[in-house]
Amino acid sequence: MERRTVFRELLGMSKRDFTLLFSLAIISTLLIFSIIPEYLAREDYRKINLSAKLIPPSPEYPLGTDFLGRDFLSLIIWGSRYALIEMLYPTIIAATIGIILGLVAGYIGGIPDQIIMRGVDILMSFPSFLLALVILNTLGPGLENAILAVAIGRISGFVRLTRSLSLPTKELGYIEYARALGASKLRIMTRYILPNILTPIIVELTFSMPGTLAMVAGLSFLGLAGKPPVADWGVLLQQARIYLRFAPWAVLVPGAAIFLVALAFNTIGEALRDIVDPRRKYMRIL
Amino acid sequence: MLKYFLKRVLYFIPTIFGISVIVFVLIRMIPGDPIEIILGQHATPQLQEIAKSQLGLDQPIYIQFFYWLRNMLTGNWGISLFNRYPVSELIFRRFSFTIQLAVLSMANVATFGVLLGIIAAYKADSMIDNLSRNISIWLWSAPTFLSALILLLVFSLYLGLFPSMGSGGIEYLILPSIALSLPGISYISRITRGTILEVAGQDYIRTAHAKGLRRRRIMFRHVLKNSLLPVVTMLGMQFGWFLSGSFIVETIFSFPGLGELTTRSLLNRDYPIVQGCTFFIAIIYCSINLFVDVLYTYLDPRIRFERRA
């Protein structure tokens, strides 16, 4: 299906589906927040005001303040950019590597396929969070390394998906025709197979984003990814944890931000899947 | 079948080897000199040399790897850098707690996930179905640390119904197991609903309807029996996931399981424990997956046939 049509259909569906409309609104807000936080946030995220620390949500501070007296609404706006980075970068890195390896394994087959798939088996023997944890431990803490560690843990899923999609595709007549015309393997993989299997991969990308966000936030929560005073949502959660009893909003606000973004991506992913593959509609499993 | 089984077990050997290589490399690549960690910064060069040869660190790296692999496979996993406790003993003790948590979480997921799925499928496209779909996607989207913190806040800090940390009786297991099982419940309920509806659309079910059998009877006798197989596999994989320890939930509830041990030792830089945990968890995790896969093939003759072909 034409990808532009998919987008148009998504917009059409959102007229009937309130949750979908809400999700699209959340993603648009996230994008706007992350592009121009300096114009939208009332306060700088480095501005400390200890006389206003841990104020509950009130007209002056709609989402309350944190233990340094920073306005939570501003912090959430500043943190959007990190959230977007933490979703996009690991997913893009993992998808790029995964698609290349998956195409090679699926189209060329033989020994390269064996090697790649054994590697995938080994990567999949580790629970993904554990893998990210130990890789991050070796690379050293920090946001860049966390992104890399999470990305490595996600590669195997994309390899398997791409491989399983390209296996039936390579048997199709037009691929044989291209081969008969003397197209190189690289050309067949990139020009003839990839465009035809890209749509389900894009659906998978949408589902992957909230997972990576939660994982990086989890690593931040353990103090291994982002570092204060950055307004990263996971870092905010980690700092607020010890005030849980006295200032629950300090945990709930960044937590709710992560939750809403995840909800939005999952809803959109599900809608995309319905559009791309209507036959599977009753099989939707989130 | 036996051939397939043997093939899978044979594939398991290179996987274990691969896991070992990854764990070895990841632990070796950690910045910092192990000799310096053990002896401190002010040891004489002679002393450092002696320690190096005692630990086998003067050998080439592949020899070191094989010594290390022999130790790992014989259960000689070293001692904690902090309290000199044998790593294997520590891991097994912590694992017994993780098993308790895993069993309870698994019971949650199997009961509520399957039940919700059956109800949603039985009332497909009704309001109940829509509601369960929405709840599922909400539960699926909430990261476990958020649900764990909310449960902790409401049921432990405010209402005081359950202890907020530690271990002991079943009351210590309830909140962590709920937090852990929420995404699983939503996932399993969706799978259950999907497979039931898929089976319900098949010809022999239409025949059963045509024969005039009652709807409930068809549902339980004919549909459920055939649709629970994929659910059972998914449940098995969930169990592997629970058994591998839940790093964040256990940390939040200070629950003395494998996950908490791993994250704590990682933050304390107690590398023998990190190494032991990683190795142990990976072996457990992929053995369960292997078991589930073989079981699935055994239970469903169609797949057995496909794989042979």
Overall average pLDDT of the B181-199 stretch: 89
Instruction: Return the SS3 of A65.
Output: strand
Q: Which of A20, A22, A122 to mutate to test the interface with B (most CBs of B within 10 A)?
A: A122
- Chain B residue with minimal CA distance to A259? B142
Q: Is B31's CB within 8 Å of A221's CB?
A: no
Three-class SS state of B268: helix
Average pLDDT, rounded, for chain B: 85
**Is pLDDT of A282 > 50?**
no
CB atoms within 10 A of CB B215: 11
Residues A12, A15, A20: CA angle, nearest 5 degrees: 90
The answer, for A246 touching chain B at a CB cutoff of 8 Å, is no
Mean pLDDT of A93-103: 95
Of A118, A262, A282, Cβ closest to residue B18 = A118
Q: Confidence class of residue B258 from pLDDT cuts 50, 70 and 90?
A: very high
Q: For residues B19 and A121, give the distance between their C-alpha atoms in angstroms, rounded to a whole number.
A: 10
Tell whether A237 lies on the interface with B, counting CB pairs under 8 A.
yes
- Give the C-alpha separation, A142 to A149, whole Å: 10
Over residues B81-109, mean pLDDT: 90
ipTM over 0.95: no
Specify the long-range contacts of residues B218-227, CB closer than 8 Å, at least 24 apart.
B219/B122, B223/B196, B223/B199, B224/B118, B224/B196, B226/B199, B227/B192, B227/B195, B227/B196, B227/B198, B227/B199, B227/B200
**Residue B163 reports pLDDT greater than 70:** yes
Residues of B in contact with A121 (CB under 8 A): 11, 15, 18
Measured in angstroms, the CA of A245 and the nearest CA of chain B are apart by 7
Residue A111 makes CB contacts below 8 A (sequence gap 6+) with none
Cis bond before residue A229 (omega within 30° of 0): yes
The pTM (predicted TM-score) of the whole model is 0.88
**B44 or B277: which leads in pLDDT:** B277
pLDDT tens-digit readout, B7-57: 888 888 888 899 999 999 888 888 777 677 667 777 788 888 887 777 777
Q: Considering only A26-30, A204-208, B175-179, B265-269, which range has the smallest mean pLDDT?
A: B265-269
Q: How far is A280 from chain B (nearest CA, A)?
A: 9
What pLDDT is attached to residue A286? 36
Q: Which of residues 5-64 of A touch B (CB under 8 A)?
A: 19
Q: 3-class DSSP state for residue B259? A: helix
Look at B233 and A24; give whichever has higher pLDDT: A24
Burial code (b: 16+ CB inside 10 Å, e: under 16) for A255-267 equals bbbbbbbbbbbbb
In this predicted structure, what is the pLDDT of residue A67? 81
Query: How would residue B305 be classed by pLDDT, with cut points 50, 70 and 90?
Result: low
Number of domains in chain A: 1
- Are B255 and B267 within 8 A, CB to CB? no
What gap in Å lies between CA B24 and CA A138, rounded to an integer? 11
Domain with A273 in it: what CATH number?
1.10.3720.10
Cβ <8 Å between B26 and A138: yes
Where is average pLDDT lowest: A4-8, A35-39, A86-90?
A4-8
* pLDDT at residue number B104: 94
The reported pLDDT for the residue numbered A28 is 93
Residue A227 sits in which domain range? 3-285
CA distance A219 to A147: 10
Specify whether the CB–CB gap between B144 and B180 falls below 8 A: yes
The per-residue pLDDT for range A115-141, each reduced to its tens digit, is 999 899 889 889 889 999 999 988 888
pLDDT for A280 equals 55
What CA–CA distances, in Å, run from B19 to A159, B16, B96, B284? 19, 5, 23, 12
User: Do A130 and B282 make contact, defined as CB atoms within 8 angstroms?
Assistant: yes
**How many CB pairs lie under 8 A apart between chains A and B?**
134
Q: What share of chain B is helix, strand, coil (3-state, %, to 5)?
A: 80, 0, 20
CA distance A55 to A75: 14
Q: What is the mean pLDDT of residues A151-176?
A: 90
Given pLDDT bands bounded at 50, 70 and 90, which one contains residue B209? confident
DSSP A111-128: HHHHHHHHHHHHHHTS-H
Query: Any chain B CB within 8 A of the CB of A181?
Result: no
The residues, ordered by sequence, that sit 6+ positions from A166 with a Cβ below 8 Å of its Cβ are A102, A103, A106, A107, A189, A193, A197
Is A4 at the interface with chain B, CB within 8 A? no
- CA A27 to chain CA mean position, Å: 12
DSSP state of A225: S
CB contacts of B15 in chain A (<8 Å) are 118, 121-122, 125
Please tell me which residue of chain B has the smallest CA distance to A208: B141
The rounded mean pLDDT for chain A is 87
The CA angle B257-A225-A102, to the nearest 5 degrees, is 90
pLDDT beyond 70 at B222: yes
